[in-house]
Amino acid sequence: MSKLELIILISPIMLAQSIFLFMNAKKRGSFAWFWGIWGLIQFPLPLIFYWFFVVRRQRNRDRKD
């Protein structure tokens, strides 16, 4: 697989990830621009870290209340 084919294959995945992270972080009030930009740069680490640092932390707070 050539570099161009790889870029064409991965670009939509990273763009979708970035949009999801931005919208979800904005809804949760958690540094939306940071998560959106980081989602454009890498895959899948931003999703993993987002789950640990935002989603999981917020779920634990909701269970305690």
* pLDDT tens profile 2-61: 999 999 999 999 999 999 999 999 999 999 999 999 999 999 999 999 999 999 988 888
- pLDDT reported for residue 31: 94
- Give the end-to-end CA distance of the chain in Å, rounded to a whole number: 51
Cis peptide before 46 (omega within 30 of 0): no
Of 55, 52, 48, 45, residue with least CA distance to 24: 55
Does residue 65 register a pLDDT over 90?
A: no
More confident position, 35 or 64:
35
pTM (2 d.p.): 0.86
